Amino acid sequence: MSHTKTYKSVCRSCHGGCGVILSLKDGLLVNVTPDRKSPFSRGYMCVKCLNIKEMVYHPDRILSPLKRAWDKEATGRSFRGIEQEIGGKGNKEYPNWQKISWDQALSEIAEKLESIRKESGPESIAIGQGTGRHHYMDVVRFANALGTPNWYEPGLSNCFIPRITVSNLTYGRFISPDYYGETTPRTIIFWGHNPLVSSPDGEVAPLALKALEKGAYGIAVDPRRSETAKKCRMWLPLRPGTDCALALAMIHFIINENLYDHDFVENHTTGFQELKAHIQTFSPSWASDVTGIPVKLITDASRQYAVEKPSVLDWGLAIEQTPNSLQTVRAIAILRGITGNIDAPGSDTFGASLLKPYPVLRAALSKDAVKKRLGASEFKLLGGPRAFMPSAHIPAVMKAMQYGEPYKIRALLNFGSNPLTTIANAKKVHDAISSLELLVVSDMFMTPTASMADYILPAAFWPEVNQLVEIPYVTANAVMAQQKVISVGECRQDEEILRELALRLDLPGSEESLEDIMNYRLSDLGITFDELKNGNSSSSAAAATDDDYGNTFFPKLEYYKYRKNKNRFHTPSGKVELYSKSLERMGYEPLPIYREPPESPIATKKLYEKYPLILTTGSRRKEYFHSDNRQIETLRKRRPHPVADINTKDAKLYGIKNGENIEISSPRGTITMCAFVTEDIAQGVVNIDHGWWFPEKADSDFGIWESNANILTSDAPPYDKAFGTYQLRALLCAIAPI
Ligand SMILES: Nc1nc2c(c(=O)[nH]1)N[C@H]1C(S)=C(S)[C@@H](COP(=O)(O)OP(=O)(O)OC[C@H]3O[C@@H](n4cnc5c(=O)[nH]c(N)nc54)[C@H](O)[C@@H]3O)O[C@H]1N2
Ligand SMILES: Nc1nc2c(c(=O)[nH]1)N[C@H]1C(S)=C(S)[C@@H](COP(=O)(O)OP(=O)(O)OC[C@H]3O[C@@H](n4cnc5c(=O)[nH]c(N)nc54)[C@H](O)[C@@H]3O)O[C@H]1N2
Ligand code: SF4
Ligand SMILES: [Mo]
């Protein structure tokens, strides 16, 4: 008689972090329920995870390696994702593809990589990957071992790297909100961030929500009254792309009104006098004109944050998607420094960094290869030696693929990413990918990108995967084990695929298994992956936790860690660097300055006449993780179409009704979306979904040219000078009914 067995794991249908219990019967996943004992998610689970069985056993899943069976020489690369149902539902075949064994796929790919590497050097092989999934650091490790400096991810310059780098430069380490300890913040600013939808992304939604419910005063800086803004007491609906102006004015007000933390500033910061002189021109009334936020809201928010402490400044992605990302993030970071909201209970804290860093084999990359990293000499904090995680600049990689400048990128290995939907200027991405000699895609589904490949490798999904999960990212106050409980078809975990390739190519590090790596990372805690996974609380390390959380290691948080370090922060001066000499030495402004978005009512007045609305893209939606999940029926029913949020007054002006299809145009193209007419967006701003393609339209290019936000975005210069950030938000657009 079979019975149900349960396993504790961690959901990773997004960046991951919610505790789950997976139930199995006869080797099949039959149920997934929230883990009420998880100290982070505390019984919370979102719709993506609730419908995980549909994803795992979806009839469209690719279950074995596929090899291109059409004549590329004759027709060129094109979308070849058409499927046929053979023998009833659930048995999909792809007539343009041949099923092959893992051994054949890996051996053929390794052979091709080896010959390209010999002929043109390892830099001619690019490695692309998607955002923060289980295999993330392993892909970086593989790129280093292979000897190519040209790995990239569509986040990085446009996501998270500016926040991490600026934190390191300003405070010495990355910082994240303290929703984990016993002290509830009194004030929380959600700045360009909507964690109640996008969590876990540094914090977990239920904990942020609990802080608000316990009385924290919420302030949302967002052109949209987002799900999080609706729970806040104050909403600052700014013009997209003007965040730096707002932050400068807040610094101005806090300093000039003497609301700053004198003790912290005197003892723990450098450059206060220079900062004070610098911000004098950036008054709240100046910022009000730039941002569109009334002066009183700016000053009230500044006073609240500076005075009603401890305060959290929970910053999000929106501050990183314009070509002034370095200075925007710096200006916001300085607010913590002048108010002393650093590493105190209930403020932003440094975290415990429990794990040893992932062994990415950085030393395996030759000096010569490092010099060839595309875009690195220009964007020093993205690709240079001082970069947190040096990577290539995507527009430069695309150019090298398409035009062979400065050298030809001949092959791309793409893990868990759908660049046709997630990189700016999708048409260019398509042309660049079309010029590749070899394209290998690891994915679970036939995506538009996968359908152009030479080989598709069937990836395992998270219930089929072992890995360590850190919460929050980078700072790791806790470590959890995600565990493999099922196998589906011939699908393999990406780390395994990478190791198999590494073994065939005889790369450094290939002797180490994933388990070796996980155990090495856990070694400071005196615990193994197996012990963590099994919730082995009798092990010495697990016994050190305050509570029995099962598969989670979560020691008590420590605060004011700099005090233990002789009152020194991990910066060159040992202080919080309001004025950054490091930036100055690299040729960047040491104090933050505001730059108007390159495409805006002020910067491009003529263009604004033709495109009279401000476009922002990509606010997260609960049902989807970027381009994922469009084939999951339950989720698709909840959100069947791509949506554009438009203010009621704008809708009236352009004759648009709620729920009807409209055209949205930018200087780069036109797409169609469904209008959502609402008061919850600033007048003059249009917010559109990103990541859209239509799995059901395999016979017409997956509808990739219909509603893809990245047809409207720009990969062209100017870029942020340090990170190479391109423009995904704060662009211009026009709208019209169809
Ligand atoms: N216009 C606009 N564009 C944006 C953004 C925006 O706000 N606006 N945001 C940007 C940001 S911040 C980011 S981080 C990027 C994200 O960009 P990407 O990371 O490219 O996005 P995804 O759509 O998540 O990539 C998903 C693919 O990975 C597959 N997948 C899921 N899990 C696994 C796995 O375990 N293994 C493998 N091999 N495949 C898996 C999915 O099936 C899917 O096809 O998008 C960026 N693009
Ligand atoms: N469900 C789900 N969760 C996700 C993801 C997903 O695709 N789906 N993606 C994950 C990834 S990779 C990331 S990076 C995070 C991002 O998650 P968040 O950091 O929360 O970012 P977004 O939701 O993209 O945008 C946050 C808010 O910024 C606002 N905004 C738009 N333009 C501007 C602007 O110019 N200034 C300001 N201040 N606000 C602006 C939007 O209206 C939105 O409400 O989410 C992660 N979590
Ligand atoms: S928020 Fe993310 S980790 Fe939590 S249940 Fe949803 S998809 Fe999973
Ligand atoms: Mo991201």
Separation between Cα atoms, residue 603 and residue 730, nearest integer Å: 12
Which residue type does 725 have?
T
Paired sense of beta strands 685-688 and 613-617, if any: parallel
Q: Which ligand does the CA of 624 lie closest to? A: 2
Which amino acid is present at 37? K
| Predicted confidence (pLDDT) per residue in 645-660, tens digit | 999 999 999 999 999 9
What is residue 225's predicted lDDT score, i.e. its pLDDT?
Answer: 98
Residue 413 counted as domain residue = yes
Residue 221 CB–ligand 2 contact under 6 Å? yes
Whether residue 708 lies inside any domain: the answer is yes
**Distance between CA atoms of 79 and 60, rounded to whole angstroms?**
16
**Would you call 736 helix, strand, or coil by DSSP?**
strand
Regarding whether 360 and 345 lie in a shared domain, the answer is: no
* Residue 95 CB neighbours (<10 A): 12
pLDDT of residue 90: 56
Query: Domain tally for the chain?
Result: 4
What 3 state SS string does 46-113 have?
A: CHHHHCHHHHHCCCCCCCCCEEECCCHHHHCCCCCCCCEECCCCCCEECCCEEECCHHHHHHHHHHHH
Q: What is the pLDDT of residue 395?
A: 98
2, 472 in Cβ contact below 8 A?
Answer: no
* Backbone region of residue 381 per phi and psi (left: phi > 0; alpha: psi in -120 to 50; beta: other values): alpha
Which helix H or strand E contains 428, and what residues bound it? helix 426-434
For ligand 1, mutation pick of 15, 466, 626, 693 (most atoms within 8 Å of CB)? 626
Q: Is the peptide bond before 59 cis (omega within 30 degrees of 0)?
A: no
Among 674, 673, 675, 664, smallest CA distance to 712 is for: 664
pLDDT band at 266 (very low <50, low <70, confident <90, very high): very high
Show Cβ contacts of residue 626 under 8 Å, excluding neighbours closer than 6 positions: 130, 131, 418, 421, 422, 690, 691
Chosen domain end from 312, 328, 351:
351
In which region does residue 481 sit, left (phi positive, over 0), alpha (psi from -120 to 50) or beta (all else)? beta
Distance 288 CA to ligand 4 centre (A): 29
CA pair distance 467, 477, nearest whole angstrom: 17
Q: Whats the size of the chain, residue-wise? A: 738
Q: Give the chain's mean pLDDT.
A: 94
Residue 88: band (very low, low, confident or very high) from pLDDT cuts 50, 70, 90: low
pLDDT at res. 186? 98
| Residue 567 included in any domain | no
Confidence of residue 240 (pLDDT cuts 50, 70, 90): very high
Tokens of 410: 């001949």
* Residue 540 confidence class, pLDDT cut points 50, 70, 90: very low
**Does a structural domain hold residue 590?**
no
pTM greater than 0.85? yes
Based on the fold, state whether residues 346 and 365 are members of the same structural domain.
no
Say if 500 falls within a structural domain: yes
For residue 619, the ligand 1 atom closest to its alpha carbon is: 7
Asked if residue 527 and residue 380 are part of one domain, the reply reads yes
Q: Are 589 and 327 in contact (CB under 8 A)?
A: yes
Confidence at 538, pLDDT banded by 50, 70, 90:
very low
For residues 296 and 304, give the distance between their C-alpha atoms in angstroms, rounded to a whole number: 12
Pairing of strands 125-129, 151-152: parallel
Residue 689 alpha carbon to ligand 3 centre in Å = 19
In a domain, 315, yes or no: yes
pLDDT at position 408 is 98
Q: Is the CB of 198 under 6 A from ligand 2?
A: yes
Interval 275-314: pLDDT, tens = 999 999 999 999 999 999 999 999 999 999 999 999 999 9
| 359 in the same domain as 264 | no
φ, ψ (nearest 5 deg) of residue 349 = -130, 165
What three-state secondary structure class fits 421?
helix
- Cβ-proximal residues to 455 (8 Å cutoff; 6+ apart), any chain: 65, 66, 67, 68, 105, 108, 109, 439, 440, 441
Q: Across residues 552-561, what is the average pLDDT?
A: 91
Distance separating alpha carbons of residues 140 and 362, to the nearest angstrom: 9
Indicate if ligand 2 lies below 6 Å from the C-beta of 205. no
* Cα 367 to Cα 385, 505, 715, distances in angstroms: 11, 21, 29
* Spatial CB neighbours of 108, under 8 Å, sequence gap ≥ 6: 67, 455
Q: Is the pLDDT of residue 546 over 50?
A: no
With bands split at pLDDT 50, 70 and 90, how would you rate the model's confidence at 1? low
Same domain, residue pair 411 and 510: yes
Asked if residue 243 has its Cβ within 6 Å of ligand 2, the reply is: yes
- Are 691 and 650 contained in the same domain? yes
**Beta strands 66-68 and 97-99: pairing type?**
antiparallel
- Percent of the chain scoring above 90 in pLDDT: 87
The pLDDT of residue 545:
44
All residues at 6 or more sequence positions from 268 whose CB lies less than 8 Å from its CB, including other chains: 340, 562, 567, 569, 575, 576
**Would you list the DSSP string of 366-396?**
-HHHHHT-TTTTT-HHHHSTTSSS----HHH
- Is residue 258 very low, low, confident or very high in pLDDT (cuts 50, 70, 90)? very high
Return the ligand 3 atom nearest residue 13 CA. 7
Task: List the 151-152 sheet strands across, edge first.
Answer: 97-99, 66-68, 455-458, 438-443, 411-415, 125-129, 151-152
Q: How far is the CA of 421 from the centre of ligand 3 (A)?
A: 22
Q: Is the CB of 618 under 6 A from ligand 1?
A: yes
CA-closest candidate to residue 169, choices 330, 377, 322: 330
Residues 540, 398 share a domain: yes
Q: Give start and end residues of each alpha helix (H) in 624-678.
A: 633-638, 648-653
- Please report which residue ranges of 157-294 form alpha helices under DSSP H: 161-171, 195-198, 205-213, 243-256, 262-268, 272-278, 284-291
Show which of 520, 544, 568 is a domain's final residue: 544
Mean pLDDT of 664-684: 98
Segment 475-532, tens digit of pLDDT: 888 999 999 999 999 999 999 999 999 999 999 999 999 999 999 999 999 999 999 9
Range(s) of the domain holding residue 185: 171-351
Domain boundary among 504, 527, 544: 544
C-alpha 467/C-alpha 465 separation (Å) is 7
Residues 522 and 653 in one domain: no
**Parallel, antiparallel or unpaired: strands 729-737 and 661-666:** antiparallel
Top pLDDT among 662 and 546 is at 662
- The reply to whether 266 and 366 lie within a common domain is no
Which residues does a 6 A CB cutoff place in the pocket of ligand 3?
11, 13-14, 16-18, 45-46, 48-49, 199-200
Q: Are residues 412 and 527 in the same domain?
A: yes
Report whether pLDDT(537) > 60. Answer: no
Judge whether 268 and 578 are in contact, CB under 8 Å: no
- The answer to whether residue 166 is domain-embedded is no
CATH number for position 698: 2.40.40.20
Whose tokens are 């990577």? That residue is 391
Q: Is the pLDDT of residue 265 over 80?
A: yes
Helix (H) or strand (E) holding 582: helix 581-586
Mutating to test ligand 1, I would choose from 462, 627, 689, 715 the residue with most ligand atoms within 8 A of its C-beta, which is 627
Question: What is the average per-residue pLDDT within 678-684?
Answer: 98
d(CA 186, CA 707): 41
Distance CA 170, CA 572 (A): 10
Q: Quick one: pLDDT at residue 548?
A: 59
Collect all residues with Cβ–Cβ distance below 8 Å to 667 and sequence separation of at least 6.
Answer: 599, 607, 611, 732
Output the domain CATH number for residue 334: 3.40.228.10
Statement to judge: residues 528 and 648 lie in one domain? no
- Residue 87: pLDDT band (50, 70, 90) is low
pLDDT at 543: 38
Q: Strand 311-315 and strand 661-666: pairing?
A: unpaired
> What pLDDT, on a 0 to 100 scale, did the predictor assign at position 180?
86
CATH code, domain with 18: 3.30.200.210
Same-domain check for residues 339 and 360: no
- Quick: pLDDT tens for 562-615: 999 999 999 999 999 999 999 999 999 999 999 999 999 999 999 999 999 999
End-to-end Cα separation, the chain, in angstroms? 60
